[in-house]
């Protein structure tokens, strides 16, 4: 192993997820590489259907149905893609915790929340039932649930959406994982609760020195919360940089369009929100050129013919895939007060 792997907790190379379906093979994730240092946060941003969840599931080794995953997924010193199911199961839930998008459906409705938190501990840590229950109460307290000793015996339907997502976070943290994958942890929640949950995740991550993959379709969520941001479009990463640099100078035109679609408090009132016209290409079709070209205002012939490579231009750790990038000098307004989209709609 090279020195890079000491710093890096996760190095994924050339990951593809191909899902066989009626209309051909859906390339939900196409040759994506990323890396994540210990204790750091990587944000994955892209609109709905861009392949964020499939990428997460590929890392976990749980692609949907009969889908095939390709690529190398080096976690610690092992290649998860090569591990048999049994050894993967020893890593899932123990070294990698997961929080899913919708807390209304991601908790089992017929099991008490305490049991659902205890389960991974019983499975991975070999502790007694009593001890697991004690720790479940502690965890409920740690994720900010009042009166945890009572709540541990609740069923999910007895808790609010925000509380349920806290329970889901407690489940993910149960075995003190090194990596937390949070797949749109706040998308299904009320605006007021969203910030609370994101702050909680940030705090827990610092305290426990976890690395985190924070998935969102909202660039606004990511600002100030992730060290590194990768923007996904149609199964590909199209721009990736340290978050500060990305917000300082967005090069790829899709990133820019995504940014312009964030509702902002400081925008002159009455100004219409720039939405990205058109829709994602059909991922089951053979795609040529830049995948954003059909929707890009700047697109030229070359964009439709040749796929731009994901490369750096100047700054080494800022890579983007665009033939005609935005000017590097023209910085976008720094992420001032950003609001989740919902408040506007």
Partner 1 sequence: MRFLWGKLVHLSLVVVAVTALTFLMLDHVPADIASEVAGQGATSEDIAAVRERLGLNDPLPVRYGRWIAAAVRGDLGNSFASGQPVVEAIRSHLPVTVELIVLAQLFALLLAIPAGVVTAWRAGSPLDRTLGTVAFGFASLPAFALAIGLILVFALRLKWLPATGYTPLTGGIAANLKGFLLPALSIALVEWVPLMRVLRGDMISTLKEDFILLARCKGLPTRQILIGHALRPSCFTLVTVFGMQAASLIGGAVLIELIFSLPGIGRLLVTGIFAQDYPVVQGCVLLIAMAYVGMNFLVDVCYGLLDPRVLKGGR
Q: How far apart are alpha carbons 281 and 233 in whole angstroms?
A: 10
Contact 169, 190 (CB under 8 A): no
In the complex, minimum distance from the CB of residue 177 to ligand ATP, in angstroms, rounded to a whole number = 21
- In terms of CB distance, is 67 or 237 closer to ligand SF4? 237
With CB under 8 A as the contact rule, the residue among 1, 4, 68, 111 that binds partner 1 is 111
- In terms of CB distance, is 120 or 220 closer to partner 1? 120
- Which of 52-60, 147-155, 174-182, 300-308 is the region at the interface with ligand ATP (rule: CB under 6 A)? 52-60
31-57 core/surface letters (b: 16 or more CB in 10 A; e: else): ebebbbbeebbbbbbbbebbbbbbbbb
Q: Which of residues 160-189 bind ligand ATP (CB under 6 A)?
A: 184
With CB under 6 A as the contact rule, the residue among 293, 310, 318, 340 that binds ligand SF4 is 293
- Which of 87-95, 190-198, 223-231, 274-282 is the region at the interface with partner 1 (rule: CB under 8 A)? 87-95
DSSP 293-314: GGG-TT--HHHHHSPPP-EEES
Bridge-based pairing state of the strands 68-75 and 211-216: unpaired
Q: How far apart are alpha carbons 309 and 164 in whole angstroms?
A: 42
To the nearest 10 degrees (0 to 180), the angle between helices 129-142 and 161-173 is 130
Residue 137 binding partner per list ligand SF4, partner 1, Mg ion, none, with a CB distance cut-off of 5 to 8 Å that depends on partner kind: none
In the complex, minimum distance from the CB of residue 8 to partner 1, in angstroms, rounded to a whole number = 22
Q: Which of residues 170-209 bind partner 1 (CB under 8 A)?
A: 171
- Which residues, at least 6 apart from 338, have a Cβ–Cβ distance to it below 8 Å? 220, 223, 262, 264, 265
With CB under 5 A as the contact rule, the residue among 41, 53, 205, 240 that binds Mg ion is 53
Nearest C-alpha neighbor of 296 from the set 274, 319, 276, 281: 276
Q: What single DSSP character describes residue 39?
A: T
Residue 299 binding partner per list ligand SF4, partner 1, ligand ATP, none, with a CB distance cut-off of 5 to 8 Å that depends on partner kind: ligand SF4
With CB under 6 A as the contact rule, the residue among 12, 42, 45, 54 that binds ligand ATP is 54
In the complex, minimum distance from the CB of residue 253 to ligand SF4, in angstroms, rounded to a whole number = 4
In the complex, minimum distance from the CB of residue 323 to ligand SF4, in angstroms, rounded to a whole number = 4
N-terminal to C-terminal alpha carbon distance within the chain: 50
With CB under 8 A as the contact rule, the residue among 27, 92, 236, 253 that binds partner 1 is 92
Q: Is 116 in the site for Mg ion (CB under 5 A)?
A: no
Q: Cα 253 to the chain's mean position, in Å?
A: 21
Q: How far apart are alpha carbons 65 and 213 in whole angstroms?
A: 23
Q: Site map for ligand ATP, 194-233, x if CB under 6 A?
A: -----------------------x----------------
Q: Which of residues 230-289 bind ligand ATP (CB under 6 A)?
A: 283
In the chain, DSSP assigns E strands to: 8-21, 24-37, 41-45, 68-75, 78-79, 96-99, 179-183, 211-216, 228-233, 236-242, 311-313, 315-320
With CB under 6 A as the contact rule, the residue among 125, 299, 332, 339 that binds ligand SF4 is 299
Q: Report, in this order, helix, strand and coil percent for the chain, each rounded to 5.
A: 35, 25, 40
Q: Is 28 in the site for ligand ATP (CB under 6 A)?
A: yes
Contacts to partner 1 by CB under 8 A: 60, 62, 88-94, 96-98, 100-102, 105-111, 119-120, 123-124, 155, 157-158, 168, 171
Contacts to ligand ATP by CB under 6 A: 19, 21, 26, 28, 46, 48-54, 64-65, 184, 217, 283
């Amino acid at each position: 192993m090279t020195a890079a792997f000491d710093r890096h907790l996760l190095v994924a190379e050339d990951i593809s997820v191909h899902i066989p379906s009626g209309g051909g093979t859906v390339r939900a994730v196409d040759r994506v590489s990323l890396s994540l240092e210990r204790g750091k946060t990587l944000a994955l941003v892209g609109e709905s259907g861009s392949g964020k969840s499939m990428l997460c599931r590929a890392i976990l080794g749980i692609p949907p149905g009969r889908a095939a995953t390709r690529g190398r997924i080096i976690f610690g010193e092992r290649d998860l893609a090569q591990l048999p199911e049994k050894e993967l199961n020893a890593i899932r839930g123990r070294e990698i915790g997961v929080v899913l998008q919708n807390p209304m459906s991601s908790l089992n409705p017929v099991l008490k929340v305490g049991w659902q938190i205890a389960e991974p501990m019983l499975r991975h840590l070999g502790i007694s039932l009593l001890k697991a229950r004690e720790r479940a109460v502690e965890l409920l307290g740690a994720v900010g649930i009042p009166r945890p000793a009572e709540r541990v015996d609740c069923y999910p339907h007895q808790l609010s959406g925000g509380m349920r997502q806290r329970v889901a976070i407690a489940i993910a943290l149960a075995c003190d994982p090194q990596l937390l994958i949070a797949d749109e942890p706040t998308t299904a929640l009320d605006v007021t609760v969203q910030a609370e949950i994101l702050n909680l995740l940030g705090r827990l991550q610092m305290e426990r020195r976890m690395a985190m993959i924070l998935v969102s379709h909202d660039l606004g969520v990511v600002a100030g919360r992730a060290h590194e941001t990768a923007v996904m479009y149609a199964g590909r990463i199209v721009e990736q940089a340290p978050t500060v640099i990305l917000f300082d100078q967005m090069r790829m035109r899709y990133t820019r369009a995504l940014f312009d679609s964030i509702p902002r408090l400081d925008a002159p009132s009455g100004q219409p929100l720039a939405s990205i016209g058109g829709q994602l290409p059909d991922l089951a079709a053979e795609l040529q050129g830049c995948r954003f070209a059909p929707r890009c205002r700047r697109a030229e012939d070359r964009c439709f013919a040749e796929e731009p490579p994901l490369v750096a231009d100047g700054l080494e750790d800022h890579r983007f895939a665009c033939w005609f990038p935005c000017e590097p000098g023209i910085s976008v307004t720094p992420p001032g007060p950003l609001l989740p989209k919902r408040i506007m709609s």
